[in-house]
């Protein structure tokens, strides 16, 4: 039985939350981007118009493909979450230039 739109949206939110736990900007940005790319076709298949980019409508999944994808994504979500927690534990504290939170930068 294929997953419902609510199930996929919930998994999408959980995966994005796990990706947001990465302290390293590069890992954080990479896993957010991969999450968006991975969920685009399934969300478009289920008719979600709020979180799907316009280009995602080109690829639709069958019910079998959707079920298979959902099982893989459901197994991968806790892995991303744990990896983010471990990354945050060993964060060096040094920030990249793109991560600067200094109010002097970009203020006019």
Q: Domain-by-domain residue ranges, the chain?
A: 5-89
Write out pLDDT tens, residues 82-93. 999 999 888 877
C-alpha to C-alpha distance for 76 and 106, rounded to whole angstroms: 37
Task: State the pLDDT at residue 54.
Answer: 59
Residue 95 pLDDT grade (very low, low, confident, very high; cuts 50, 70, 90):
confident
Instruction: Determine contact, residues 20/77, Cβ cutoff 8 Å.
Output: no
Q: What is the pTM of this model?
A: 0.81
Average confidence score pLDDT of the chain: 85
Instruction: Tell which wins on pLDDT, 70 or 24.
Output: 70
């Amino acid at each position: 039985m294929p997953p419902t739109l609510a199930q996929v949206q919930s998994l999408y939110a959980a995966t994005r939350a796990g990706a947001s736990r990465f302290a390293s900007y590069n890992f954080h940005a990479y896993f957010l981007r991969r999450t968006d790319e991975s969920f685009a076709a399934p969300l478009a298949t289920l008719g979600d118009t709020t979180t799907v980019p316009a280009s995602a409508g080109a690829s639709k999944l069958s019910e079998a493909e959707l079920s298979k994808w959902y099982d893989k994504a459901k197994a991968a979500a806790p892995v991303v979450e744990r990896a983010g927690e471990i990354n945050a534990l060993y964060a060096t504290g040094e920030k990249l230039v793109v991560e600067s939170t200094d109010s002097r930068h970009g203020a006019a």
